[in-house]
Amino acid sequence: MPLKPHGGGAGSGAFEYCELCRRNHDQGRRHRYFPAHRAALAAALSGFRAKLADLRRALLRPSAPAPRSRLWCPFCSADLVDLDSRFACSNAIYHLASEEHLKGVKDFLRKHGGGMDQVDSFRISEAELAKWEKGCESSSTEAQALANGMIGPSLRPLKAMGPITPLVQRVMDLPPLEVLLILLHLVLLDCPSNPVSQHMDIRVCRVQTCFIVLMHE
């Protein structure tokens, strides 16, 4: 009775493809100890760490421009794209904090080597995710408050200005484009080459000050 070949050994005839080395081999688990494979693994892990470092900066500033619009996850063979997201890298962040990614990292390291003690360095923790989500919520609240202030600014700083408050109230009822044209007209009146400005300097300055306060309130 012929002996069965040992699976995974050299020359066993059982070929498999290594996505890191990009070649077929019949070395079984011994393949991951070969110098070429170890070099390919080190390059892949180092490259992903660098991309994850950029992503961690996005965790600290959710409203900042995204450091990258897409991220390739070698552990899950997933192309993570963020094009229309309100917050930078949100798709990648949620993926790297998921249980699916955690499983993918463990399976990858078991297959290719690298040490299971490195698992947490290739993912985003639940604490980091919670802190990022809180920052996103805070940014949304600030943006909404700013938008509300631009739509309906408070008149409290204008109470001390007395006579021009009714004028400002009437202007605020106008469409935004008309308000912009009025502001432009006031700037032209205040031009030194305009003789009319000699008699309107004080009034124009007071009205301009009023609108500056409104636009920044």
Residues 88 and 140 in one domain: yes
6 located within any domain? no
Domain's final residue, options 146, 164, 195: 146
Same domain for 96 and 171?
no
Domain-embedded: residue 98: yes
Residue 31 in any domain: the answer is no
28 located within any domain: no
Of residues 30 and 97, more confidently modeled: 97
Residue 215 has pLDDT above 80, yes or no: no
139 and 45, same structural domain? yes
Instruction: Check residue 8 and give left, alpha or beta (phi > 0: left; psi -120 to 50: alpha).
Output: left
Is the confidence at residue 212, as pLDDT, over 90?
no
**Residue finishing a domain among 121, 146, 171:** 146
Query: Is residue 36 scored above 60 in pLDDT?
Result: yes
Read out DSSP for 194-217?
A: -TTHHHHHHHHHHHHHHHHHHHH-
Which of the pair, 23 or 193, is modelled with greater confidence?
A: 23
Whether residue 137 is found in the same domain as residue 163: no
- Looking at per-residue confidence, does 1 or 147 come out higher? 147
Query: 57 in a domain, yes or no?
Result: yes
pLDDT at 28: 84
Domain that holds residue 207: 153-216
Q: Mean pLDDT over all residues of the chain?
A: 74
Q: What is the pLDDT of residue 190?
A: 55
What does the pLDDT read at residue 100? 96
pLDDT given at position 163:
52
pLDDT tier at 52, thresholds 50, 70, 90: very high
Q: Which pLDDT band holds residue 10 (cuts at 50, 70, 90)?
A: very low
pLDDT score of 93 more than 50: yes
103-159 pLDDT, tens digit per residue, is: 999 999 999 988 889 999 999 999 999 998 888 888 766 556 555 555 544 444 544
Q: How many domains does the chain have?
A: 2
Stronger pLDDT, 95 or 150, i.e. the higher one: 95
Residue 5 domain flag? no
